[in-house]
Structure 1
Amino acid sequence: MKMETLVHTEYFNLNKIANGVFAAIAKAGTGALSNAGFVDLGTELLIFDSFNTPSAAQELRKQAEGLTGKKVKYLVNSHYHSDHIFGNQVFKEEIIISTELTKNWIREKNAIMDVDTELKEFQQFLENLKLQILAEEKEVIKQSLTNQLAEMEKLLAELPTLQLVIPNLTFEKKLVIYGSERHVELYCLGGGHSPSDTFLYVPQEKAAFMGDIVTEKLHLPIIQPEEFLSTLQETKKMDIHILMPGHGEVGDTKKIDTMIQYISMLTNAAKCAHETNISIEDFVSSFVLPQKYKEWKGSKGVERNLVGIYRFYATNNHRSES
């Protein structure tokens, strides 16, 4: 079936991408920040990721339940990053699912200890971000920083009432959730973008929600390049006809191919630099980004991944020799 746009909301465009499968594609600067989606299982609904603010998550719940006439029963957190879990409080009475590692990282990395202190630090962060935007010379990074500022201002407005809600059901590698009309399969094949990355597959509809395992024209952080690549290679073996990336527009497995090419390009360059004893400083300063990636967004550009992947191989080689 062809993708059908159903609703344009303040936070996202809601698309039907397969029978019973719906993708909420975030609008820039609104407080959603990442994509989310939901699956009609038959008698109940499953939500995938909960956006960066409770307001965006509340709109997702409203649209999902209003469109289908059914209630949410499950929420899946793909990984621990705030733009995928800060809307969890909207679903705090439901079953919230993640891997055990993601659950622990949500608790440890996103804890709000003192609201007043958090507000002051957040406001200072935004002031520094404004100065960074003024000083930035690269237009694509300036645009990324400007969007980040808009998103963080939305989050700041909701910080006083934000509750960190932790998953209450965990799995390790695979979990199948059955419904009366269709079932979903959750997979975690390791880390890549985060220490533990989950994606969702609807085999009956040949559709998938990829979380940040797949994004579009974005220099997303890469912390474990080899697991990232192996995960992407495994997803290529699945019968996926349509997918929703964590950031960007709905597409097909060509998006997976693009991710594999991008990570492989960075990995090969970093390994070569490390093996030939090129310093990390010289590697980053001399690296020439291929033209097809020059318009990719990201507040820290490709440099963060160059440094991260180089250090990954430096650390792992050191361990293997000791």
Structure 2
Amino acid sequence: MIQKINDRVFVIGSEGSANVVIVLQSKGAIIVDTSLFPEKAQKIREFVEKALKKDILFLVNTHYHPDHTFGNFIFEDMQIISSNLTREKMMLMDEQYLKNLPTLSKLVPASITFENEYWQNQVLIKRVGGHTPDSSVVYLEQEKILITGDLVFNGFHAEIVQDSDLEEWLNALENLKKYRADWIIPGHGEFMDKGCLDQMKRYLTKIQRLLDGTITYAEILSDENFSTRGFPELFSWGLENLMFQRTK
């Protein structure tokens, strides 16, 4: 499903899949994240080049997870930008990591990397960590739009993985409020105003409290910020990952 924020920014995603963002500028288009499936990435490339009639200036990966990077294969001839940590994480994907994922002809990491932040074409890419150590956000200064990657899940339970850092994640969400952004585009779910940053903070804070034993599982389930979110299996899986962290 293709949604337009305005005549220059398109969000492609449906039913909780990872969002792909297309940003049109005068000289061409920028694409943020490339989806799990190269077939989908191919259709996105055709949409930009044939339907929108724009050259692709460069692509950005917000973090290393396959649902944000596997489509890189279709854009191998383009500039792909990520943090150097995202590139390193992708290069560590071995057969064990890839065995339950869609078959990929070739893993294509970024061709341009940065340590902490990168500016190009009035676009800021900044590594903030939290969801994963390499998680980055993309700020469209001219558009006043912030693309958060998986730091924000809107309407769906968060994917909390074994290298997530809840404290860092919460700090990052608080710091994101400082950006002049009219719209937030999450990694998964519908774009909305800055209210989704607070929703995400409350979500993660309650998970912390559940692990610390200061609230009950029943209290969590009675909260609409949990009960109305899709993919409840991710909630249980995330708790398992956090409990595993605490035993290390």
TM-score by length of structure 2 reads 0.87
In the alignment, which residue of structure 2 is the partner of 1:142?
none
The one-letter code matched in structure 1 to 2:77 is E
Structure 1 residues 175, 226: closer, same or farther in 2, change over 3 A? Answer: same
Select which of 8, 13, 19 maps to 1:20.
8
Greater helix content? 1
CA contact (8 A) 1:229 1:263 kept: yes
Structure 1 residues 18, 173: closer, same or farther in 2, change over 3 A? Answer: farther
Structure 1 residues 290, 170: closer, same or farther in 2, change over 3 A? Answer: same
The 5-angstrom pairing of residues 113-192 of structure 1 reads 122=100, 155=102, 159=103, 162-178=105-121, 183-190=122-129, 192=130
**1:48: Cα distance to partner?**
0.3
CA contact (8 A) 1:219 1:305 kept: no
**1:67: Cα distance to partner?**
3.9
Q: Distance in 2 between matches of 1:64 and 1:26?
A: 18
**3-state SS of 1:300 partner:** helix
Instruction: Count how many residue pairs are aligned between Structure 1 and Structure 2.
Output: 241
Unaligned stretches of 5+ in structure 1?
A: 1-12, 123-151, 274-282, 316-322
Deviation string 1:46-75 (CA, Å, 9 cap, x unpaired) is: 110001111100111111223432211211
CA contact (8 A) 1:267 1:309 kept: no
TM-score by length of structure 1 reads 0.68
Percent identity at matched positions?
A: 27
The 5-angstrom pairing of residues 23-102 of structure 1 reads 23-27=11-15, 33-102=17-86
In the alignment, which residue of structure 1 is the partner of 2:201?
260
In the alignment, which residue of structure 2 is the partner of 1:276?
none
**1:310: Cα distance to partner?**
4.4
In the alignment, which residue of structure 2 is the partner of 1:215?
153
Q: Does 1:203 align with 2:164?
A: no
**1:112: Cα distance to partner?**
5.0
In the alignment, which residue of structure 2 is the partner of 1:133?
none
Deviation string 1:15-71 (CA, Å, 9 cap, x unpaired) is: 22135222112356xxxx311011123212211000111110011111122343221
CA contact (8 A) 1:18 1:207 kept: no
Q: CA RMSD in A?
A: 2.3
**1:218: Cα distance to partner?**
2.2
Deviation string 1:261-296 (CA, Å, 9 cap, x unpaired) is: 1001111332346xxxxxxxxx9xx62223211232
Q: Distance in 2 between matches of 1:38 and 1:52?
A: 16
CA contact (8 A) 2:159 2:234 kept: no
Unaligned stretches of 5+ in structure 2?
A: none
CA contact (8 A) 1:271 1:313 kept: no
CA contact (8 A) 1:112 1:164 kept: no
CA contact (8 A) 1:173 1:187 kept: yes
**3-state SS of 1:176 partner:** strand
